[in-house]
Amino acid sequence: MIEYLSNWLWTYIWKPLPDMPFGEWMETFIRWARDAWATGFDAVDTGLEFLYANLADGLLWLPSGVMVLLFAAVAWAAKGWKLGVGIGLGMFVVAWTPYWEETMQTLSMVLVSAAIAILLAIPLGIAAAENKAVSAVARPVLDFMQTLPAFVYLIPVVMLFSVGVVPGIIATIIFAMPPGVRLTELGLRQVDREVVEAGQAFGASPARILVRIKLPLALPTIMAGLNQVIMLALSMVVIAGLVGGGGLGSVISGSLGRLDIAAGFNAGLAVVLLAILLDRVTQGLSDRTPVARAAKLAR
């Protein structure tokens, strides 16, 4: 027994340490999953491809000049005429680069993956806020999802879904989701305890307290999470160009290969302007939530 223990200590604690095959385990799991759940992955693949292709076609259906005006109108509606003018100018610049089509493809990928990420993140955030056990499990998983280098996602995802747009979207969903969950949880936990108590004191059920009190009060924070999700999605979607994701990412990784400064700058400019559009519009929307408006009145 003692001998066994000292052997074990020698092998695993004392030098030289052996290499543990964590990576190989993951690979075995991914390969197994690919075969075992093939139909599931195929369905996801088809579904996401369908969503993406239709959205991209839709955004490219109208000529770019008209779309620029539409974007300006959206920004105007979300915040005000100043933002509308600014976004209009920015999108005109994008339309004047050779990459309008790629920009719209990138935007479609961002919208599809961010929408799915948010649909997953908000219920998970609610569960984490209401239940300590869920929160305790979710936290390390979210840390893992957020800090694992973005490129690393792409490898197994490509293996499961082959090259193309879909692995980019999947990797983006995983990468962009954590702040959505976190800020939903935070927003709900920060709701004034006394107001929740008032709901209970008047005999409201937990579901009603969630829908009528907690969610409206947490909405500005949840919207900040949504903004984060969209910005992270944009950054990941560009990286996804490496795996044939299409859009501006492909242009950028291509120009990196050819050291094509002009193409790289054009595409980079489009990314920046797209980022500003997405950021300001979502911020404008979060300022429009009833609670945020009421808070403004107090000042």
Cα 124–44–55 angle (5° rounding)? Answer: 90
CA gap 140, 255 in Å, rounded: 37
Tokens of 62: 């109208």
Distance of CA 277 to the CA centre of its chain: 16
**Contact range with other proteins by CB under 8 A, out of 138-146, 172-180, 207-215, 275-283:** 207-215
Is 43 one of the binding residues for other proteins (CB under 8 A)?
no
Distance of CA 245 to the CA centre of its chain: 16
Q: With contact defined as beta carbons under 8 Å apart, do 236 and 175 qualify?
A: yes
Is 290 one of the binding residues for other proteins (CB under 8 A)?
yes
- How far separated are the first and last CA of the chain, in Å rounded? 72
Is 26 one of the binding residues for other proteins (CB under 8 A)?
no
CA gap 261, 32 in Å, rounded: 42
The distance of closest approach from Cβ of residue 295 to other proteins in the complex, given in angstroms and rounded to an integer, is 7
Is 194 one of the binding residues for other proteins (CB under 8 A)?
yes
CA gap 21, 167 in Å, rounded: 25
Residue 241: count of CB within 10 angstroms of its CB: 23
Is 131 one of the binding residues for other proteins (CB under 8 A)?
no
Is 198 one of the binding residues for other proteins (CB under 8 A)?
yes
When binding is defined by CB under 8 A, the residue of 44, 95, 204, 272 that contacts other proteins is 204
* For other proteins, the closer CB: 137 or 198: 198
Strand ranges in 38-148 using DSSP code E only, listed in sequence order: none
**Contact range with other proteins by CB under 8 A, out of 22-30, 109-117, 161-169, 204-212:** 204-212
The distance of closest approach from Cβ of residue 284 to other proteins in the complex, given in angstroms and rounded to an integer, is 18
Site string for other proteins, 211-230 (x = CB under 8 A): -xx--xx-------------
**Contact range with other proteins by CB under 8 A, out of 43-51, 230-238, 262-270, 290-298:** 290-298
Q: With contact defined as beta carbons under 8 Å apart, do 244 and 163 qualify?
A: yes
Answer positive or negative: Cα dihedral of 154, 272, 182, 170.
negative
The distance of closest approach from Cβ of residue 75 to other proteins in the complex, given in angstroms and rounded to an integer, is 24
User: How many residues belong to the site for other proteins (CB under 8 A)?
Assistant: 25
Is 2 one of the binding residues for other proteins (CB under 8 A)?
no
Is 207 one of the binding residues for other proteins (CB under 8 A)?
no
Q: With contact defined as beta carbons under 8 Å apart, do 12 and 18 qualify?
A: yes
Is 120 one of the binding residues for other proteins (CB under 8 A)?
no
Is 40 one of the binding residues for other proteins (CB under 8 A)?
no
Which amino acid, 6?
Answer: S
When binding is defined by CB under 8 A, the residue of 85, 119, 163, 291 that contacts other proteins is 291
Residues near other proteins (CB under 8 A) are: 192, 194-195, 197-205, 208, 212-213, 216-217, 289-291, 293-295, 297-298
